[in-house]
Structure 1
Amino acid sequence: MKYLVIKCGGSVLDNLPRSFYEDVVQMHECGEWTPIIVHGGGPLINSLLKNLQVETTFINGLRVTNHEILDIVEMVLSGSVNKQVVRNIVEVGGNAFGVSGVDGGLLKAEPISDAKTLGFVGEVVEVNQSLIEGIIKQGCIPVISPVGIDDGGQRYNINGDIAASAIAKALSANLCFISDIPGILIEKDGKKTKLAKATKAIIEELLENKTIYGGMIPKVKAAIDGLVHQIPEVGIINGFEKNSLIDYTNGKEIGTKIVLEEEIA
């Protein structure tokens, strides 16, 4: 059984076509690949924070999180967004089980190194792999919200890309980031051009010259970290292209494939 961790960012979730969820269900039913969805929910969190007149800021793509914001983050991610994704899968004939990283200690977390600046933002130190496998054995597609917890019961807001990478590492799974663009884009001859492949060195150069910025920063950093820790492959694909997910699992050249240097022929 091959696992595929599929990370859906909050910016694309609201508009992903029915065909995307049909592809996920088709993949699950075929049996060659087992999908696991990890989702974000940034835009909905931003909207609710604005309505509640709570200020929010970001540093390198990560949300500064205090107690008040943490409550809202958990409510949106583990409540509204998680159940929306489950409903979307059910509507196309699939069977999904929504779970938070807090439930069953699924995502054990600790503060990231910039905790003094970022507050209750965490990194994953352990994944309860058996819980995910148990959901799969029940015939369900796991749908995971990226909120973690430590041994003392403190919750942490975890960037969805980082959570997805940690889960993929634990399961030795392929990792696929779903975007609304065809992959990593660079300027070439005055036009935006998609990179079919990007090595660690290229990613670092694009970070340095700020071609990669904002929310794409944790995405590519999580990809490189995953590859270093034996994730077989990382891809960034456009979830709005029909059959893009199926094409990806069939090995077709689609999106941007992120690799380590020695894997480039």
Structure 2
Amino acid sequence: MTDVILVSADWLTLREDADARSRSRRLARAAARHVRGPIVVHDLGSGTGSMMRWLAPFLPGPQTWVLHDWNRDLLTVAVNDPGRDAASRPVSIVTSVEHVEHLRPEHLAGASLVTASALLDVLTRDEVESLVAACVETGAPTLLSLSVIGRIGIEPADPGDRVFEAAFNDHQRRTEDGRALLGPGGVAAAVEAFRRAGWVTRVAGSAWRLGAADVGLVAEWLEGWVSAAVEQRPALLEWGEEYLVTRRRQLAAGVLRVNVHHADLLACPP
């Protein structure tokens, strides 16, 4: 469910409220202290624009958001639902259609701030290095939110939790079409690259904390989480089916709680 290639508008819409609750407001406020209006924000892998709608109210205006995504349909959704700045004025939107893994410094020309959400874990080390190099060359503070870090907490506990967590993490680190994805190591790789460039980094937790009010999201996340684990380790198929039956019953009874741990990263020039 976190694969940037397979992501759908429905999935992004389903997770938007949980994303908004989870992102670090402390880092957002810190990022805001580094910019002055009018500002230009480049949002990488922007999807339907949820990062824009969440972050724009923290920032002064006027604002122009440059939304980068390979999927024109997702960008169309974003354009039709713009964010609003700290003074409740709608932001201006420019779209740029390209794959984020092909990002070059010239794509970020004029940026006051660079952002991304749920991105680092689906990149390779070389792609993270290129992203960091582009941000450093631009000189714009960079806020990268909601990267998966490989830890899940589920209540009530089940013996399968750690097994499926490990298999899912291996799936996140898989090699696909010659690309060795970083998965849970994405944040650490980005921190290391920014620090080598002399930038100051801050990391904050941004876990989804899901319960009875998030039935639709939990159901979709569970299906995707177990499916990815089984894809990585086919021997888990029968156990995965039994595990899902148990978890669906608990979800229907309103007793299932899920914490999906992420991290937010803010990197700023020295």
Q: What TM-score results when the alignment is normalised by the length of structure 1? A: 0.36
Query: Which structure's CA Rg is the greater one?
Result: 2
Q: What TM-score results when the alignment is normalised by the length of structure 2? A: 0.35
